[in-house]
Homo-oligomer: A and B are copies of this chain.
Amino acid sequence: MARKTGSHAEITGPRLRAVARDLFARHGYAAVSMRQIAAGVGVQAGALYLYTPDKQALLFELMRGHMDDLLAALAAEPMPADPCGRLAAFARFHVHFHLDRPAEVFIAYMELRNLTPENFAVLERQRHAYEDALEAILRDGAATGAFRVPDAKLATRALIAMLTGVTQWFRDGGRLGRAEVGAIYAEMALRAVGA
């Protein structure tokens, strides 16, 4: 434990990302210094630059990785055929996925403005692709008469905001469990679109 130097490439790389993720989520990207991150990893500041070209790349890789995971998980999620079933499945998926990754979610929503314009554009495309999946469900349901949505784009954003909000208050071990919360949110989402 007292070793102060040596080779730990396989440990330091992942640890760097985990520490940066937690510190960025807690204090905000702009408020966290490379020295703080280094202290959390257990190395000196200079050593971080063996694993990331700079602080911005650290943030961008965290955010892009999170959105990659989100899109991949959604694509892998089994989806019923009918619009009501699909919306309920989407809502439960969204709630559970976000509750499983509170730090990443916090960063994804809070640090967009700290990305360079190029990096921001990448994240925007990913966010848009995710929203399109929900919008397609709502349009299908509206077309078949299962839903009543005066504006599919507005309803998409309203539902995503509602569902994502769960991360701001839910704590494990509280009054309600995850499955229960996911079910209630899914029911509210269905009702909100007139299902």
Contacts and interface: CB of A to CB of B under 8 A. Distances in A.
Interface stretch (A46-54, A67-75, A78-86, A149-157): A149-157
A155 B181 CA distance: 10
A113 interface: yes
Contacts of A161: 161-162, 164-166, 168
As for how many copies of this chain the complex holds, the number is 2
A57 interface: no
A157 B151 contact: no
A176 B160 contact: no
A151 to B, nearest CB: 6
A27 B165 contact: no
Interface of A: 26-28, 30-31, 110, 113-114, 150-151, 154-155, 157-162, 164-166, 168-169, 176, 181, 184-185, 187-189, 191-194
